[in-house]
Amino acid sequence: DAGVIQSPRHEVTEMGQEVTLRCKPISGHNSLFWYRQTMMRGLELLIYFNNNVPIDDSGMPEDRFSAKMPNASFSTLKIQPSEPRDSAVYFCASSLAGGLETQYFGPGTRLLVL
């Protein structure tokens, strides 16, 4: 299995632009998680899906952030408009069923908003 795939691996954009991060979970996994990692705040859970349905989005910082999972093999995290404070590494992870099962992390997308 290829593992969790994220794209792009690096993204540099200017403030105000729309940013879309993509994730392909491991085939057969029913849960998908989006995390943000910064030096100041550590690793934060933004949202997680179970069977393509958002279960908990309480970690989404504000309305500028949105996430979708149109099918079991694809998810997006969108930031519109982006701000410099959104600069971070964004990880996608998947598991068989929920956070209590082993989560398999992708390599992350390093986002820099200028």
Q: What are phi and psi of 6, to 5 degrees?
A: -125, 145
Of the candidates 28, 53, 58, 70, which one interacts with another protein according to CB under 8 A? 58
88 binds another protein (CB under 8 A): no
Q: Does 5 interact with another protein (rule: CB under 8 A)? A: no
Q: Which stretch binds another protein (CB under 8 A): 10-18, 20-28, 69-77, 105-113?
A: 105-113
From the list 81, 73, 88, the residue with the least C-alpha distance to 27 is 73
Quick check: 109 binds another protein (CB under 8 A)?
A: no
Task: Compute the radius of gyration of the chain from its Cα atoms.
Answer: 13
Query: Which DSSP state fits 42?
Result: E
Nearest to 24 by CA among 100, 93, 96: 93
How is residue 12 written in tokens? 């540099």
Q: Contact region for another protein (CB under 8 A) — 18-26, 66-74, 75-83, 97-105?
A: 97-105
Is residue 103 near another protein by the rule CB under 8 A? yes
Of 26, 93, 111, 113, the residue at the interface with another protein (CB under 8 A) is 93
Q: Is the Cβ–Cβ distance between 111 and 21 less than 8 Å?
A: yes
Q: Find the Cα–Cα–Cα–Cα dihedral 42, 105, 19, 38, rounded to 10°.
A: 10
Binding segment for another protein (CB under 8 A), chosen from 19-27, 38-46, 65-73, 75-83, is 38-46
- Using the rule CB under 8 A, which residue among 75, 106, 111, 113 binds another protein? 106
